[in-house]
Chains A and B, each alone.
Chain A
C-alpha cells in the first residue's frame, strides 16, 4: 500500500500553490505541517482527486489515481477543513446518504452506522439535525462519515480546528487506533495534533516539502539549538525580537522563563534541552506570524 506523489505542481494563474512536490506515503499516520497558505490544502485536494495537478501525478500502488477512478475513491476518504453538510439532514440521514455515495449496500450501511454512532459517541444525537450540534459533535460526524467505507487512505484537512483540548485528544486516539495498515494523512498547523501519533511528518513551506521524516529524525536538525533560560522582564521584548521563542512563562514580576531556538545560547543561564517537533516547526516558520508565537 503506497501513495506516490510524483513531482506535482499546482498553479493558480501566476501563483504557484504547490511546487514540484514528490513523496512516497506508506501506511501509518502522516502529519502534513505547514503555516496557513503553505499549500497543504491544495496538496491534499490533489491527493483526493478534487484538484487536477498542473503538472505531475498522484499514484496509488503505482497507478495514476485518475485512471483508477472509482476504484481509488472506493478506498479513499476525505474530510475537508470546512465540514459541509446539508442542513436538512439529521446525523443518521447524513451517514446513510454518504454510505450510499460510498457504495455500501443497505446491510453494510446499517452495521457501519451503528458501529460509528457508538465509537463517535453520537448515538444520543442520531436524530438531531447536524446544524444544531456543537462544533465538536459536527466534527465527530465528519470523522464518522470518513470512516464509513473503511478506507485504505484517509485524508483529513485540519480535522481539529475549532475543537477544545479534550476533543483534540479524543480524535487523536481514534485516528491512532484506525491507522493500522492504512494511510492516514493529517494536515495541520497545530503541531501537537500530530506530534504524538504521526509515524512520519512532512513539513511544507511556500508550496514545497522542505522536510520529511519521523519526528525523532526531523528534530535532530535542531539538536543543540533548543534552550531554556531566564531573562529579565524588561529585556524580554528585545529578546523576542531577535530570538525564535517557542514558549515563555512569567516566573515573577521581574523574570521570564523562555524556551527558544538559536544557534548559540543567548543568555548566561541557558541550558540545552531535547528538541520537540514544535521547536522545529517554529524554527522553520520563524519568519511567519505563526512562527513568531502565533502557534496554538
Chain B
C-alpha cells in the first residue's frame, strides 16, 4: 500500500500528469459552456429568439405543462389542436400562421406532432401523412403502428437477414410505452459533447500512461527498480493501479464536471424523457437519463481499457514515443474503421477494440441513437451497445494480466 501511495504521489505530481489533467479540464469547461451558449431557439425565418441559458429555460418552461406520458389521448388532443390552428389560418399550411401564434401554440406541442409523423407514412409516396389526415383511430393505435413500421424502417439495412430483423423486434418489445415526454433541448448535443471529450481525454491519459514502463526502460531507472525486493510484481501492480486511478480521477474530474454543468443548465427534466422523443424509431428501451448513464459507464470502461492497452504497449517497448504512437493509433482506429466500413466484420473489429467506445462517431450514444447495429456470431445476434459495454469489461483484466506478465519478464 505504501508503494502504491508513493507511486500515486509520483505520478499525480508529475508535470505531464498535471498538464494533461489541466488541458482536459479546460477543454471540458470550454466545450460545455460553448455548447450551452450556442443553443438557440429561432423563429421560422431562423431569427434568434432565445439564446444560451435563456433558450434552455424557455424550452423547459413551455414543455413543462405537457411533461408526462405521450398517451394516445394526448397525441389525439395535440393533433386536434394543431389541425384547428392550421385550419383557422386557412390553407392547411403552417406558413400562414402568425409567428406569435406559432410560438405560443405550436412550438409546445411540436414533438407530439413530429413523433407520429415518422411512423405514419403514405404507402404510395413514402411521404409523412400530414396531421390533418391522421385520424383519432390511427393515433389511438400509435404504438402498435410504430412497432408495425419498424421492420420497414430497418429493412433497407438488413435486406435479407431475418435473424437480425427478429433481433431488432425482440429488443423493441422491451420498450416502455407510452413514451415519456419532457424538454430534451440541449441534452442531445450534451451527450455528443461528452462523447467527444471522452475521446480527447483518452489522448491526454495515454500521453501520461504510455510512458509508464517504457520511459523507465529508456532511462534505465527500471534496472534499479527491477533489482529491488518489491521491484517486480508489487511495483508492476502499483504502476498499473496508479495509472488506472489517474484515468479514473481524470475522468471524474472532466466528465463529472461536464455532466454537472449540463444537468444544471439543461435541467434534469430532459433525463426523464424517452429517447424516442428525439428518435421515434430508436429501439433502445431507455430514457435520456439511461442514455447518459450508459454513455458515462461506457466512457469510463473504454478509458480504462485504452489505459490498460497503453500500459501493455508501454511494458513492451523501450521508447515512450513509439508507445505513444501505437496508443494514439488505437484511439483513432474506431473512427477510421467507421469511415471505411459499417459492415458486420468491421463493426465487430471496431467494437471489440480497447478503444471501441471512442471515436468522433463511435460512442455508445451513436450506437443507440444513430445506428441500429445487430452483430452476429454464428446464429447468435448481439445488439452493438451491449458489445460496447461488455468488450472493455472482458479486455481490461486480460490487458492488465498481459501487462504485468510482460513487465515482469521484460529484459533490458
Contact = CB atoms under 8 A, between A and B. Distances in A.
Interface stretch (B153-161, B172-180, B190-198, B229-237): B229-237
A88 B219 CA distance: 14
Contacts of B14: 86-88
Contacts of B226: 48-50
A96 B412 contact: no
Contact of B229 (A50, A74, A93): A74
Contacts of B141: none
B231 A78 contact: no
Contacts of B411: 50-52
Given A84-B224, A106-B2, A100 B230 contact: yes
Nearest to A89: B10
A164 B230 CA distance: 34
B363 to A, nearest CB: 34
B219 A82 contact: yes
Interface in A175-214: none
Given A88-B14, A89-B10, A96-B6, A102 B223 contact: no
B216 interface: yes
B231 A73 contact: yes
A80 B224 contact: yes
A86 B221 contact: yes
B225 interface: yes
Interface string A87-124: 11100010011101111001000000000000000000
Contacts, number: 86
Contacts of B230: 70, 100-103
A100 B3 contact: yes
Interface string B378-412: 00000000000000000000000000000000011
B230 to A, nearest CB: 5
Nearest to B17: A88
Of B219, B227, B231, chain A has the most CB atoms within 10 Å of the CB of: B227
B293 interface: no
A116 to B, nearest CB: 15
A75 B352 CA distance: 45
Given A51-B411, A78-B227, A79-B224, A84 B13 contact: no
A4 interface: no
A82 B224 CA distance: 10
B16 to A, nearest CB: 9
A101 B223 contact: no
Given A73-B227, A84-B216, A100 B2 contact: yes
A100 B1 CA distance: 10
Of A73, A78, A79, A100, chain B has the most CB atoms within 10 Å of the CB of: A100
Nearest to A10: B411
Contacts of B412: 45, 50-51
B10 A88 contact: yes
A93 B225 CA distance: 15
A274 interface: no
Q: DSSP class of A's interface residues: helix, strand, loop or mixed?
A: loop
A145 interface: yes
B220 interface: yes
Contacts of A86: 10, 14, 221
Contacts of A96: 6
Nearest to B235: A101
A283 interface: no
Contacts of A93: 9-10
Contact of B228 (A79, A82, A85, A101): A101
B6 A84 contact: no
A281 interface: no
Given A100-B2, A101-B231, A84 B223 contact: yes
B88 interface: no
Contacts of B222: 84
B15 interface: yes
A101 B220 contact: no
A260 interface: no
A96 B2 CA distance: 10
A97 B227 contact: no
A256 B64 CA distance: 104
Interface in B218-269: 218-231, 235
A149 interface: yes
A76 interface: yes
A76 B232 CA distance: 14
A50 B227 contact: yes
Given A52-B411, A73-B231, A86-B10, A101 B2 contact: no
B389 to A, nearest CB: 36
Interface string A244-283: 0000000000000000000000000000000000000000
B179 to A, nearest CB: 54
Contacts of A106: 2
B231 A88 contact: no
A77 interface: yes
A45 B223 CA distance: 8
A98 B219 contact: no
A87 B230 CA distance: 21
Contacts of B225: 98, 101
B15 A88 contact: yes
B236 to A, nearest CB: 12
Contacts of A146: 224
8 contacts: A50-B227, A78-B223, A82-B220, A88-B13, A93-B9, A98-B225, A101-B231, A149-B228
Interface pairs A-B: 5 shortest CB-CB: A84-B221, A84-B219, A103-B229, A101-B228, A84-B220
Interface of B: 2-3, 6, 9-10, 13-15, 216, 218-231, 235, 411-412
Interface of A: 45, 48-52, 70, 73-74, 76-89, 93, 96-98, 100-103, 106, 145-146, 149
